[in-house]
């Protein structure tokens, strides 16, 4: 049995060693008799790459518009990079992914921890950090350190990497005990913490951020152990050509900023949720939005917008309160002014159906009135800004953007110019004068974030509509294996 000191040293070097091994593999000479590019050449010849994965919100699942998920996005882009099609087998848990890659797969992509001690596979360079996190049920005394775990029923996922961290900590804290399973997923663990079946769970930080919207009764505790690295797994003994190609692809994504963009898209809204009040927003999603969701869908069908975008705009305007009234006289769920309501033939601004329909038509008219030179998302973001600040002030901001050497057709440049409408030096040069130009910047940012969250909630509800279904007590006993203390 290793001593606490040797185990500590092994843990300290593990992250470095894992990364070093992944980097050095591309430099080592291939074993005699194994052509370096054999595996890659076979994939190119058959015109598809076979990927083994898991059906989870952090990896791959079917959304309303087809396959999605953080690692699915990476797999698809890698297949495009190779110029081949993509075939997936998502029927696995983590140990099964590794075994399938060893046996006959091309690639394993399933939130796999980079572990160079695993036999029969080679790992890519690290994709993102995996930070083990202890979470616990709201209402328990705060859990801030290992000493607070005494007497708690804790669980984690076997083979995910968090189990390895717990085993290393157990060498220093022999009384530590937990349960683990390869048959559950993160959402199921969090559900059991929330309903009291478990007191706490160890998951990765990004997994908690992605799932916490559905489990407001689960609290963040503390990070434990050393961070791991997520990587892709490839079969050993079939050449390094595919591994090297994957490493180059991942390097290009990282250097071009695309990898950061994907991470922000899938895992980046948590801090923002804390800022706006996560529990309030999610409570409104569950309590208020269902009353108006079909009205948003109908308005979206008539105006060719995504209904979730209209819902996000409505939340920003009124928090889905149909009787909202501002000091300036705008009223209703979509907060229409009296003149705008008149132009749209909205007789009763406090009628949710009329308000949502009118707001959607108003946003459509603003978008259509913008110059044709503004395209794509830039056009949508400027239309939303005009909904808040008015089309005239938006045009003034475009003029300022051009004066400053920017592109008046790019939202990024107009966004920088809008706050200058508050400064006399700039608004004195415009047609419509002063405006609180910082507000539409925040306004558009908020709507985009609300939309991202609603889109995630919508697709996750489709994928995990059975999350609240619990196994009978007699079945649950065989799912989690107890790892006893070693003292």
Active site residues: 317
The C-alpha atoms of residue 127 and residue 251 are separated, in whole angstroms, by 9
| Residue 283 half-sphere exposure toward CB, CA atoms < 13 A | 7
The C-alpha atoms of residue 165 and residue 179 are separated, in whole angstroms, by 13
Tokens of 120: 């029969």
| Cβ neighbours for 273, distance < 8 A, ≥ 6 positions apart | 213, 281, 453
273 and 453 in contact (C-beta within 8 Å)?
yes
Q: Measuring CA to CA, how many Å separate 417 from each of 398, 435, 436, 437, 446? A: 7, 12, 12, 8, 18
The C-alpha atoms of residue 107 and residue 188 are separated, in whole angstroms, by 26
């Amino acid at each position: 049995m290793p001593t606490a000191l040797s185990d500590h040293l092994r843990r300290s070097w593990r992250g470095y060693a894992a990364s070093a091994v992944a980097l050095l593999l591309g430099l080592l000479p291939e074993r005699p008799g194994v052509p370096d590019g054999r595996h890659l050449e076979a994939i190119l010849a058959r015109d598809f790459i076979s990927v083994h994965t898991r059906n989870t919100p952090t990896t791959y699942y079917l959304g309303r518009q087809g396959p999605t998920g953080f690692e699915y996005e990476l797999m698809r882009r890698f297949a495009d990079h190779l110029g081949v099609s993509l075939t997936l087998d998502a029927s696995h848990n983590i140990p099964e992914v590794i075994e399938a890659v060893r046996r006959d797969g091309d690639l394993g992509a399933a939130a796999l921890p980079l572990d160079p001690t695993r036999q029969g596979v080679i790992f890519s360079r690290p994709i993102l950090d995996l930070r083990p996190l202890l979470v616990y049920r709201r209402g328990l005394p705060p859990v801030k350190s290992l000493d607070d775990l005494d007497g708690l029923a804790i669980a984690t996922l076997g083979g995910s990497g968090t189990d390895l961290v717990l085993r290393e900590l157990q060498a220093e804290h022999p009384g530590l005990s937990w349960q683990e399973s390869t048959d559950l997923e993160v959402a199921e663990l969090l559900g059991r913490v929330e309903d009291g079946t478990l007191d706490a769970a160890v998951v990765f930080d990004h997994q908690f951020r992605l799932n916490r919207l559905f489990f407001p009764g689960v609290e963040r505790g503390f990070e434990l152990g050393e961070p791991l690295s997520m990587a892709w797994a490839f079969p050993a003994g079939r050449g390094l050509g595919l591994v090297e190609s994957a490493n180059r692809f991942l390097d290009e994504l990282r250097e071009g900023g695309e990898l950061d963009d994907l991470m922000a898209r899938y895992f980046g809204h948590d801090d923002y949720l804390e800022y706006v009040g996560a529990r309030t927003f999610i409570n409104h999603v569950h309590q208020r939005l269902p009353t108006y969701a079909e009205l948003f869908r109908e308005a979206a069908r008539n105006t060719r917008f995504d209904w979730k975008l209209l819902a996000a705009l409505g939340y920003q305007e009124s928090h889905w309160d149909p009787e909202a009234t501002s000091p300036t006289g705008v009223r209703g769920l979509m907060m229409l002014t009296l003149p705008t309501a008149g132009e749209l033939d909205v007789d009763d601004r406090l009628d949710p159906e009329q308000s949502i329909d009118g707001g959607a038509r108003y946003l459509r008219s603003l978008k259509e009135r913008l110059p044709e030179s503004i395209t794509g998302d830039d056009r949508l973001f400027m239309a939303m800004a005009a909904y808040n600040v008015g089309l005239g002030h938006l045009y003034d901001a475009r003029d300022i953007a051009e004066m400053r050497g920017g592109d008046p057709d790019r939202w990024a440049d107009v966004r920088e110019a809008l706050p200058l409408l508050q400064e006399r030096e700039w608004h004195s040069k415009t047609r419509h004068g002063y405006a609180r130009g910082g507000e539409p910047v925040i306004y558009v940012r908020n709507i985009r974030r609300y939309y991202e969250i609603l889109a995630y909630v919508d697709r996750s509800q489709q994928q995990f509509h059975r999350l609240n279904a619990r196994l009978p007590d007699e079945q649950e006993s065989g799912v989690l294996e107890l790892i006893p203390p070693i003292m």
